[in-house]
Amino acid sequence: MTANRTNKAWRLKKRPQGDIGIDDLELVENDIPTISENEILAKTIYFSLDPTNRIWMSDIDQYMEPVEIGDVMRAGGSLAVVEESNVAHINPGDIVQGGMHGGWQEYFIIPGDEAASIPMIDGLSMTAFLSVLGFTGPTAYFGFLDIGNPQPGETVVVSAAAGAVGSIVCQLAKIKECRVVGIAGSDDKCDWLKDDLNVDEVINYKKENVLESLKEKCPNGIDIYFENVGGEILDSALTLMNNFGRIPVCGLISMYNDWENPGPKMFRNILMKRLTVKGFLVSDYLERYAESLDALGSWMAEGKIQYKVDVVKGIENAPETVNKLFTGENSGKLLIQVSEEPKD
């Protein structure tokens, strides 16, 4: 079935210094892997590009092992179609999540005990399973609801508010009857947040002084700051946090290309305001994953949560495209489409 075809894959060639460069990775072609007993061969349809790709390329102390030089670049999530199966409960044509076996490549093998088919839902795009119903939605769900612990009437500020996680956090905050201020990097993103997601106030950080704008738009201070970026925006939020405020730390994207960047100047307010600041990973909540998917799915069905994806076709475009995350060019979940979605 796979004769005379090859497997294209991006491998890490060297560790980036600053922005990810095309010379940091190498596109190679090898034979398509051959499956053994209790394995499936999957062909990638989509894989996600995430800020954490930059962390995995570095050798800093991190939450999991970095990608080794010469290894296939890891992906935060992927969807694939089963091409061959030696597993009783998985059939060719089934759609599966790649998990840690996928990556920036066309074909990969999944052990049978880790393979599960994803039931497609009429009217729901396949890309939802890499966004709201992938890791993105549960990340927003647990970070905001568990750590943020929102209460009706509280003021919530979300950085990278038009991004994959941030946009879902904004909608969860509205569901929980909070006042929401979203920070994003273009007028188009700010318009989308206000017009489509009903965010109360928006700040274009590329045009406005964030601290002064936050003072104006958060006259009663900030109760929850959902952190995605770090740097000066974090400092501005720390300045205006209310007593006993909460800061779920989901990401620090402004620092990923420059780890020498100093920490927040307003660190003292963590003490002075008795703040709760907690970093988290969605994997911390695996035992409650089904809970989040049930809730998010219900809110989607009720029209309370929408999502946006930014799809770039062609595996060859992955290294250039991932940098859109760090320049703010993407909106919503950033995906590479490797192959066409299967026909019904």
Q: Are the CB atoms for 224 and 247 separated by under 8 Å?
A: yes
In a domain, 12, yes or no: yes
Domain region containing 279:
136-284+294-298
Amino acid at 91: N
Give the CATH number of the domain where residue 254 resides. Answer: 3.40.50.720
Domain assignment of residue 322, yes or no = yes
Q: Are residues 261 and 145 in the same domain?
A: yes
- Amino acid found at 45: I
Cα separation, 246 vs 303, in Å, equals: 28
The Cα–Cα gap between 128 and 148 comes to: 24
**Per-residue H/E/C for the chain:** CCCCCEEEEEEECCCCCCCCCHHHEEEEEEECCCCCCCEEEEEEEEEEECCHHHHHHCCCCCCCCCCCCCCECCCCCEEEEEEEECCCCCCCCCEEECHHHCCCECEEEEEHHHCCECCCCCCCCHHHHHCCCCCHHHHHHHHHHHHHCCCCCCEEEECCCCEHHHHHHHHHHHHCCCEEEEEECCHHHHHHHHHCCCCCEEEECCCCCHHHHHHHHCCCCEEEEEECCCHHHHHHHHHHEEEEEEEEECCCHHHCCCCCCCCCHHHHHHHHCCCEEEECCHHHHHHHHHHHHHHHHHHHHCCCCCCCEEEEECHHHHHHHHCHHHHCCCCEEEEEECCCCCCC
**Structure-token pair, residue 174:** 């509205």
Does any domain span residue 189?
yes
CB-based contact 21:15 (threshold 8 Å): no
Instruction: Note whether 37 and 170 are same-domain residues.
Output: no
- Note the pTM of the prediction, 2 decimals: 0.91
In this structure, the answer to whether residues 226 and 145 fall within a common structural domain is yes
pLDDT at residue 344 in the model: 66
Q: What is the pLDDT of residues 162-187, one digit of tens each?
A: 999 999 999 999 999 999 999 999 99
Clarify whether residues 50 and 14 are in a common domain. yes
In a domain, residue 1? The reply is no
Alpha-carbon span 241 to 221, nearest angstrom: 6
The predicted structure's pLDDT at residue 99? 85
* Domain contains 30: yes
Counting as low any pLDDT under 70, the low residues of the chain are 1-4, 257-262, 344
Two tokens at 260? 């020498």
Residues 162 and 277 in one domain: yes
Q: How many domains does the chain have?
A: 2
Query: Does 319 lie in the same domain as 212?
Result: no
Domain shared by 114 and 162, yes or no: no
Q: What is the CATH number of the domain that holds 40?
A: 3.90.180.10
Q: Contact 324/334 with Cβ under 8 angstroms?
A: yes
Query: Exposed, middle or buried: residue 83 (CB in 10 Å: 0-12, 13-18, 19+)?
Result: middle
> pLDDT tens for residues 212-256?
999 999 999 999 999 999 989 999 999 999 999 999 999 888 777
Residue 344: inside a domain, yes or no? no
Whole-number Å distance between alpha carbons of 109 and 98? 9
Q: Are residues 113 and 151 in the same domain?
A: no
Same domain, 146 and 264: yes
Evaluate whether residue 303 is within a structural domain. no
88 and 157 assigned to the same domain: no
Instruction: Give pLDDT tens digits for 250-267.
Output: 988 877 766 666 678 899
Number of residues written out for the chain = 344
